[in-house]
Amino acid sequence: MCGGEMSENSIPTNTGNLGLRATATNGHEQPTDHEQQSHSGDELLLQQGSNRTPTISVIMPTLNEEDGIEECIVKIKTALEELQVYGEIIVSDDSTDRTPEIAREQGCVVINPDRDGYGYAYRYAFDHVRGDYIVIGDADTTYDFEEIPRLLRELEETGADMVMGSRLEGEIEPGAMPPLHQYIGNPLLTWFLNAFYGADVSDAHSGFRIFNREVLEDLDFQTTGMEFASEMIMEAGAKNLDIAEVPITYHERKGEATLESFQDGWRHVKFMLQNAPSYLFTGPAIGMGIIGVCLMFISMLQQPVEGVFLGTHTAIAGSLFIIVGYQVGSLSIFSSIATNPIQKPKDPVTSWVNRNFQLQHGATLGLGFFAFGALGLAYCTWVWVGSGFSISPNVVITIISVTAVILGVQTVFYAFFLSMIAENRT
């Protein structure tokens, strides 16, 4: 029997002490004492059009996975048999080989997304799930779906919103992952994601995950490509969802690999930075601003530091750091208003601008900078003219004044630009 169903009087129960909330709270049929016999995975797998409601929905995006999909399906059935709960397997397919035929023969629900992309395949499938628990994973045998009960048990026992299978904390079989990915790529991307979004996971790009269906209501997915794996954890971390992990074994894939290491890795990094303006813009801007102010202050002292005299050239360097830092910081404000990043800037300046900015605020600040610089330049000019054009004005004061004038002009025009962005968004 392949993916067949039992009669209406043969209703499986949940075995063990998982305490599945769905069975108690979401309207699932409850077993009577004489119905608690064991059923096979084929009997527990619900086919398309079934009137029963599954407890677990397993989603596999597929692109020519005929070599591995049947093994994955068999393992999912084994997991359902261990749990003794109804389940469905949704294959979100864009294949040109026999993958969809194999999936249908095994009792899966096969859907065909109307757009290309790994991430879009998942997003399209999310609209078709019926289970209270959603499991996602690749159909290339790299993930052992017989470990679903372990992830589900962790989800129930910890009360987490999501549980991931950690390859880096578990075992990676020889040949399953290139050394570049295992020792550099995945650890580095995980570190970035934890630092930027507070996810606190050991393997951010593991594709083997389980979560309650209600979690989808909290996550706003936008991507369609491989960066979807990052987006899910970024969204969860930024929205303070609880993510737990279970060590798993990562196996060698069957079939041809579709991952492009450098291109897909760069897409992950770019996406993480674009959605964390505080780290892309604000952090570097503050750092450059502090360096610039310190250099300016030291140059004004006209005194040697540890035997090194820091004068005119130091002031020029300080001016450069201040101007560039100011420009980069302004981009943080622009991006927070013009876009909707996952991790919104939380620094006081950007937060205040987002809440209270009006055109006159920026124009007044810009005119203040300009006036300060203009007074400094006027003083230098007065000294120069007063000496009969024989004494050069203080170069450091001139540099500081010019810097202030540049910041003033930039601020006025930035204010108008920011006002246009804000009005257009409204």
| Same domain as 168, residue 211 | yes
Number of domains the chain is built from:
2
The DSSP symbol for 93 reads E
Identify the pLDDT of residue 259. Answer: 66
In the listed set 274, 306, 338, which residue is the last one of a domain according to the structure? Answer: 274
Beta-ladder partners of 135: 58, 210
Task: List strand residue ranges (DSSP E) for 263-338, in order.
Answer: 304-305, 308-309
pTM: 0.76
| Same domain as 78, residue 54 | yes
| Same domain as 258, residue 292 | no
Task: List strand residue ranges (DSSP E) for 275-365, in order.
Answer: 304-305, 308-309
| Same domain as 70, residue 32 | yes
Identify the pLDDT of residue 17. Answer: 42
| Same domain as 144, residue 289 | no
Given a contact cutoff of 8 angstroms between Cβ atoms, the answer to whether 161 and 210 are in contact is no
Helix axis angle for 312-338 and 395-425, nearest 10°, is: 0
For 181-194, how does the pLDDT look when each residue is reduced to its tens digit (9 = 90+)? 999 999 999 998 99
For 313-354, how does the pLDDT look when each residue is reduced to its tens digit (9 = 90+)? 899 999 999 999 999 989 888 888 778 788 877 777 777 777
**Distance in Å from the first CA to the final CA of the chain:** 58
Which segments of the chain have a pLDDT < 50? 1-34
Helix axis angle for 312-338 and 348-356, nearest 10°, is: 50
* Domain coverage including residue 174: 21-274
| Same domain as 364, residue 244 | no
Identify the pLDDT of residue 86. Answer: 97
Buried b / exposed e over 105-122, threshold 16 CB at 10 Å, is ebbbbbbebeeebbbbbb
Q: How far is CA 102 from CA 4, 56, 118, 172, 370, in A?
A: 16, 21, 20, 28, 71
